[in-house]
Amino acid sequence: MAVLSPRRLATEVSQKPLVRDTLAGRRKRSGWLWLLEHTLARDVRVVDQHIREGRFQRGLALIAGLSAVLGGLEVTLQHYRGSYSQRVMYSPVFLSPLVLLAGVWGFFSRRVARTLLPISSLLLLGDGALGFIFHVRGIARKPGGWRIPIFNVIMGPPIFAPLLLGISGFLGVIAAMLRREDDPPRVKAAGLPGQRPAWLGLLPRGITREGVILEHHVREGRFQKVLAAATGVSAILNGVEALYPHYKNDFTYKVQWTPILLAPIVAFAGFGAVASKRIARTLLPLTSALAVLNGAIGAFYHLRGVVRRPGGLKHSFYNTVYGPPLFAPLLFAATGFLGLLASLLRRAD
């Protein structure tokens, strides 16, 4: 792609006629939404259009906030099992509600969505990366370290959990780049640079340029590849995070295999969608929907597992901490949701 000046980009944007006509839109609309056409046609079309045009900042900000707090609750419980023995273990506990706050506030305030949301999300993303390093180190510091990986990964700090939390941060960053639902459909070229968040200016020029291009794509809803890849990564992380605790439990229930079998397929669809528009429109939404369903079922089973533990509800706090993790399946569902969202987007090319 040739180097684009913001002005040229904006001109391109303005030259693309937006789809308004419903009949014409039927073919152009993202793969699977036509299923809903007869029932929710109008609202769905609006949402679809917003997503295709990258005008769903409010929605995504809220989603980023909610997924951050899901991960935050999980990490709060899990770090309690580790007794917060390192101060840094508190960081995700405080950062994830901050992202929630930014997300919700960003829903109402354009300004927050462009300032606090990306800052807190980036912090969470960085915290996830930092946590990953600490968790790898934590496993190494267990007796036997990485020489007995099966045992120490299972009994040590969950290796990929911090990265999963980081994905919420990633969503928040994306959300900050989007346009808002109530933005006018056509953005004036002159308005663009001014609306760019100030923090981008801190980055080196080269990155800034790539960032500007990406940001423009995002703002136009043309980041399907990025989000599909994120879905793939998230699915793999989720799969691994489901694999070893379920292995620890010796796969007592056959259903414990399902997220492990499904995750690679979602990941395949996610990465495949990067290469193939077709996969992005077919396999990705299908498997993503299955992941959402699977996550919901998992959440139910995990809740049941907590209740069925010795002492049951009478020792609900302990059983929540040490029973099957309640929020982990919901994170898998969130991955599925990410995939669904990706399938609705447009591609950069």
Partner 1 sequence: MSLTNKTQDMPLPPDPNAPRPTIESGPPATTPAGRLPINTRTGQPIQPRPQPGYYPGFSTLSQQKFWDEATRRVVLARVNNPPPIRFFTPDEARLMRAVIERVLPQDDRDEAHRVPILNYIDDRLYHNRIDGYRYEDMPPDREAHRLGLQAIERIAQTMYGQPFIALPPDQQERVLKTIHDVEPPAAHDIWRQMSIQRYWMLLVQDVVDAYYAHPYAWDEIGFGGPAYPRGYMRLEGGKPEPWEVAEQRYEWSGPLWAVSNEYGPIGAGHETITPGQEGTH
Partner 2 sequence: MTTPHTSGDAVMESPLAGAFDGATPGAHMLGPIQTLDTPMRRYGPHDEVDYVIVGVGSAGGVLIQRLARAGFRVVGFDAGPFWDTERDWVSDEAGSYNLYWNDLRITGGSEPLAFGANNSGKGVGGGSVHWAGFTPRFHPSDFSVYSDTGLGADWPISYQDVKPYYELLELEIPVAGPSYYPWGDPHGYAYGPHPMGGVGDVLINGCTKLGIGVSIGGPVAITSGSHGDRPHCIYRGFCIQGCKVGAKQSTLISHVPDAIRHGAEIRANCMVARVNLGADGRVTGVTYFDPDGNLREQHAKVVIVSGYSIETPRLLFNSACPGFEQGLANSSGVLGKYLMAQAGTVVLGRFAAPIRMYKAPPAHALTEEFYETDPARDFVRGFAIQTVGPLPIAFAKQMMVAKGAWGWGMRKVMMDYNHWAALGFLGEILPWEDNRVELAAETDRHGLPVAKITFGLHDNDKKLIKWGVDKTMEVMYAAGAEEVVREPRYAHLIGGARMGNDPRTSVVDGFGRAHDIPNLFLCDGSIFPTQGSANPGLTIQAIAARTADYLIAQGAGVVNRPPRAVPAANPPLRRDLSPHSTAGRGMPRLKSKTPKAKLGLGGLAAGNRG
Note the residues at the interface with partner 2 (CB under 8 A).
Answer: 80-86, 138, 140-150, 155-156, 310-312, 314-315, 317-318, 321-322
CA distances from 102 to 60, 89, 157, 231, 266 (A): 12, 21, 28, 23, 29
Q: What is the DSSP string of 161-230?
A: HHHHHHHHHHHHHHHHHSPPTTS-SSPPTTHHHHHS-GGGGGS-HHHHHHHHHHHHHHHTT--HHHHHHH
| Cβ–Cβ under 8 Å, residues 56 and 183 | no
Shortest approach of partner 1 to residue 336 CB, angstroms? 23
105 in contact with partner 1 (CB under 8 A): no
| Cβ–Cβ under 8 Å, residues 61 and 103 | yes
User: Alpha-carbon distance 279 to 30, whole Å?
Assistant: 12
Q: What angle do CA 196, 200, 203 make, to 5 degrees?
A: 160
Phi/psi at 128 (5° precision): -65, -45
- Please choose which of partner 2, partner 1, none residue 249 contacts, taking the beta carbon within 5 to 8 angstroms, the exact cut-off set by kind: partner 1
- Please choose which of partner 1, partner 2, none residue 314 contacts, taking the beta carbon within 5 to 8 angstroms, the exact cut-off set by kind: partner 2
261 in contact with partner 1 (CB under 8 A): no
Please, which residue, 15 or 83, has the CB nearer to partner 2? Answer: 83
Among candidate residues 317, 338, 345, the one with its CA nearest the CA of residue 76: 317
Residues 122 to 151 in contact with partner 1, rule: CB under 8 A = 142-144, 148, 150-151
Please, which residue, 136 or 154, has the CB nearer to partner 1? Answer: 154
- For residues 19-35, one letter each, b for 16 or more C-beta atoms within 10 angstroms of the residue's C-beta and e for the rest, the string is beeeeebeeebbbbbee
- Please choose which of partner 1, partner 2, none residue 307 contacts, taking the beta carbon within 5 to 8 angstroms, the exact cut-off set by kind: none
Shortest approach of partner 2 to residue 156 CB, angstroms? 8
Shortest approach of partner 1 to residue 288 CB, angstroms? 25
Among residues 248, 278, 304, 308, the one that binds partner 1 under rule CB under 8 A: 248
Among residues 105, 247, 268, 301, the one that binds partner 1 under rule CB under 8 A: 247
Please, which residue, 126 or 138, has the CB nearer to partner 2? Answer: 138
Shortest approach of partner 2 to residue 86 CB, angstroms? 7
- Please choose which of partner 1, partner 2, none residue 80 contacts, taking the beta carbon within 5 to 8 angstroms, the exact cut-off set by kind: partner 2
Residues that bind partner 1 in the complex, under the rule CB under 8 A? 142-144, 148, 150-151, 154-155, 243-244, 247-252
